[in-house]
Amino acid sequence: MSTLPAQVLGDDRLDLLELALGGGLEPDRLAAAILPDAGRVTPGEAVAVVLTDQENTPLARLESPGPGGEWSLEELRHLPVGTGRQWDPALRRPARDVRAALADAEDVVALIVNAAPTWVDQTFVARESAEADRTVLLVPVSRRRRNGSEVGPGGLVRSALSLAPSAGTPAEVVVVPWPSSPPPGLTLEDVAQAYGAGRTADVVGQRDEELRALVAGLDDTQAQAVAALYPPASAAEVLRAARGARHRGAVVFFTGFSGSGKSTVARALAEQLEDDGLATTLLDGDAVRQHLSKGLGFDREGRETNIERIGYVASLVARHGGIAIAAPIAPFASSRAHVRALAEETGAVFLLVHVATPLEVCEARDRKGMYAKARAGEIPDFTGISSPYEEPGDADVTIDTSSGTVDEAVAEVRTALDAALG
């Protein structure tokens, strides 16, 4: 059996992988969507490929016995999860589990809820579910960051939960991992069958043109109200001032050992801030290394240049009223001080978060096997092993993920951020 190069999955492909691991998508369709050479395997050759996240952590293994054979999928490690209602395991259930729970129902209708439902949508749900034995409200959510004007995944799930009682039959809400850009030929209607539905309807898709126009015109409400109160010249100035108004920007800068939990807490914080409608940009250490700082080494000079680049981008985000969240290791005090100075020069709030998870805990986690390689001398300049970590004495928040939950850590950082923003 030959092994294809490992495939690094972005957010959309991670959604597809989660869907497939739960039985909502056939491995063949997963392979076709994420492996460009899946259909061009040498005749008679069996192949395998390891699927990883952007941190190169192995998540699953796809195998094909050769042309004509079906692909198989094996989970190697649980996919990382975030916080918020969209990650609640009671709602984000695998397709096979939902299908099994609905097996005794003769008529199951799946209603797709992909936008905050209106009163008209609620009436539609009641009508469509009236004659069904069971109703499933499928809420498609994506890992990819949403547009600022859209209701976020958490808000969408809460809306669906409030909608469930309007169904005339027993109804449940099920969160479906769904890429923001699905591959050609894959529809939510197809996936709904894997969740046990006999028929499917799109709640938003049934809206007539008048309702669509009303929803689309919500952004014009302020302009119309201002125009009714002010003469044209004054109205233009009031609207100009409103467009220019912004919240004070902020940079939340996490530092700590590899494996300390920085990225996990940073992602969860970003999700929570976005769910609250705040413009948030996440600059994760590994992702930045692949793009903004590609080619830089891990010696002191390379590390400091990497942190300076992160700090510069974060300060630009904060300058325009956004919240930038960065989660590099950032082992050197001089680099962290430079980032603080860049942020504060723009008038933004700067919050240094030290994720003080002990080195032995981080090494025991060793998700990517990096500590073991560093101990063996295979990785030079590895922080905590062959390169120093200068523990911050100026941290605004200190957390330890070995003695508390992610939710608790996020709450502590959020409290400090809210207080700093006033």
DSSP symbol at 220:
G
For 170, the token pair is: 């027993």
In angstroms, how far is CA 371 from the centroid of its own chain?
A: 27
Q: Are 69 and 75 in contact (CB under 8 A)?
A: no
160 closest CA partner among 144, 179, 141, 145 = 141
For 117, the token pair is: 């439902």
- Provide CB contacts within 8 A for 43, sequence distance 6+: 66, 67
For 29, the token pair is: 């369709």
Q: How far apart are CA 15 and CA 299, in angstroms?
A: 35
Q: How far apart are CA 326 and CA 355, in angstroms?
A: 12
For 129, the token pair is: 């579910």
Q: Are 317 and 249 in contact (CB under 8 A)?
A: yes
Residue numbers in the known binding site for ATP are 256-263
For residue 112, what is the enclosing H or E element? strand 108-112
Q: β-strand 250-255 against 2-3: which pairing, if any? A: unpaired
Assign residue 261 a region (left: φ > 0; alpha: ψ between -120 and 50; beta: otherwise). left
Q: Are 151 and 117 in contact (CB under 8 A)?
A: no
> What type of residue sits at position 208?
D
Q: How far apart are CA 17 and CA 27, in angstroms?
A: 9
Q: Are 354 and 395 in contact (CB under 8 A)?
A: yes
Listing DSSP states for 168-206 in one string gives SS-EEEEEEE--SSPPTT--HHHHHHHTT-SEEEETTTT
Residue numbers in the known binding site are 256-263
